[in-house]
Structure 1
């Protein structure tokens, strides 16, 4: 972005690897995490030095998928988080564009950006839960084209006054404006996964690429390909289950590892060396506050 917002600068303003964490912060097994505990922990994690707090967009609960995210709508939830924090970036990972009207997204995201003084970074996606397309009346096989159109509307709504744009969602004929505008005149969009797009399109139209946890060799091949196309940021994810033994060897868990602090220090160092710009971690532990504190003290402080 030519004039990045505060959140984008926090995450990508220099060459150092930055780290954020994802809601729910207290207990991922709970469908409705305790609000006050979550907010208090969000404040605590900002004080510990985490660079971003990420909220997921899960419009409906599908038991087969086994995940309700943080349950609360991301715009509503991140507004509460914005009021309790000062500088940490506020991210969506990721807004399912195909299931939302782009004008609603444009207004909600810009409103949150204004209320947080420019800290919003938007991960955006085309969706991955098949029953939701029917529930929202969206043709699943057209979600790639719908995603591209949605991005076009967002850019017009944020960058232009009284924009003129026509898509499947409707027509803006130049007589209506969408307000407020974002603090930096635009909002950063991190395309999540492939979102049914080519890498060329993602490199041209996104402000970065957010990809799920990958084996290291695969991750390096993705990074090499990305760097051949653009210098824009690359973001990945990792579940962190910190073993009591600091020298414990790694074991694979869903989207990450259980390992000792020594191995995680080496791992995050390798991510940094490979050119990853930001990692979204999901820190496991019966006591989430203590687990995050250990992760910062035993891993991040040494990387």
Structure 2
């Protein structure tokens, strides 16, 4: 599925698997990261060859869950990053549609898209932090329906002027429009995980599928099913990476990823490309973030 959106084209309309890096690039995900350090690393990631920068959407900090994302609210943060970068794609991984009003998402996303000259790609999710649902006055059990209704409302608000819409979030009677418009007809949206939807729904309505790290055999099965249902629509995934000092070090399992040497990671990402993965969001876990970004780009991106 082709899009005029420059961010989408950079990430997905290429013959090679592309790579993004996820905020916080400093690894500070339980408190507020240093803004200047984050921006320095964002510019460095672009300079060394990463194709995307991805920000999470975590409205509240729940210590039991373990992290607060990149802390800053997604929309102003990505606007700030857009002002300090040039061409790298900017993504959300992922906006929790069930916790945000669709009119707000429509306006905020289009604003970032305009400020970044069309570099925005949206991962969208149904939410997985239990206490946030009552905090927002929502029923966790109905998040699948809420996700679907809000997803479809956002699409309609971008594509139609003053539409008539109704959902659990509210109603529009055809008198109101939402401005600004995106730089293109619509901003690409990739459901994240299963988003409480069927694979058929995701394949039909999504502009791709964003998933988490999976064992390779499971990943192969997922991709086979995805290609059957979605054809050429892209598949993106997130993986945690810690680069061992020993380039030949074998993998050590981490939560949603591995610690290993660059030689093993080089082979691993080549296998992912052969399976049909289109884009990988890398969460680097090394202490020296700038050196890790450079090493990953020089020794892995350039070799896959």
Confirm or deny a common fold (TM above 0.5): yes
- The offset of 1:27, in angstroms, is 2.4
2:223 maps to: 223
2:54 maps to: 54
Alignment of 1:85-234 (within 5 A): 85-230=85-230, 231-234=232-235
The 2-side partners of 1:44 and 1:107 are apart by 30
The 2-side partners of 1:120 and 1:163 are apart by 24
The 1-side partners of 2:156 and 2:258 are apart by 41
- 1:33-68 CA distances to partner (integer Å, 9 max, x unpaired)? 100110111011101110000000000000000110
2:243 maps to: 242
The 2-side partners of 1:200 and 1:256 are apart by 27
Question: Aligned to 1:130, what secondary structure does the other structure show?
Answer: coil
Question: Aligned to 2:131, what secondary structure does the other structure show?
Answer: helix
Q: CA contact under 8 A between 1:4 and 1:188: conserved in structure 2?
A: no
2:294 maps to: 293
**Gaps (5+ residues) in structure 1?**
none
- 1:45-102 CA distances to partner (integer Å, 9 max, x unpaired)? 1011100000000000000001101100000100000000010000000000000100
RMSD of aligned Cα (Å): 0.9
1:13 maps to: 13
1:63 maps to: 63
How many equivalent pairs are there? 303
2:262 maps to: 261
- The offset of 1:181, in angstroms, is 0.9
Question: Aligned to 1:203, what secondary structure does the other structure show?
Answer: helix
- 1:92-120 CA distances to partner (integer Å, 9 max, x unpaired)? 00000000100000000001000100000
- The offset of 1:29, in angstroms, is 4.8
The 1-side partners of 2:154 and 2:290 are apart by 37
The 2-side partners of 1:29 and 1:155 are apart by 31
- The offset of 1:278, in angstroms, is 0.2
Question: Aligned to 1:38, what secondary structure does the other structure show?
Answer: helix
Of residues 284-293 and 23-32 in structure 1, the stretch that sits farther from structure 2 once superposed is 23-32
The 2-side partners of 1:2 and 1:33 are apart by 36
- 1:198-251 CA distances to partner (integer Å, 9 max, x unpaired)? 000000110000010000000000000000011210011111111111111111
**Gaps (5+ residues) in structure 2?**
none
- 1:119-150 CA distances to partner (integer Å, 9 max, x unpaired)? 00000000000000000001111000000000
User: What TM-score, normalized to structure 1?
Assistant: 0.98
Question: Aligned to 1:113, what secondary structure does the other structure show?
Answer: helix
The list of structure 1 runs, each at least 4 consecutive aligned residues, that deviate by more than 4 angstroms after superposition, is none
Q: CA contact under 8 A between 2:30 and 2:69: conserved in structure 1?
A: no
2:283 maps to: 282
1:39 maps to: 39
The 1-side partners of 2:249 and 2:45 are apart by 25
- The offset of 1:2, in angstroms, is 4.7
- 1:155-189 CA distances to partner (integer Å, 9 max, x unpaired)? 11100111111111111111110111111110100
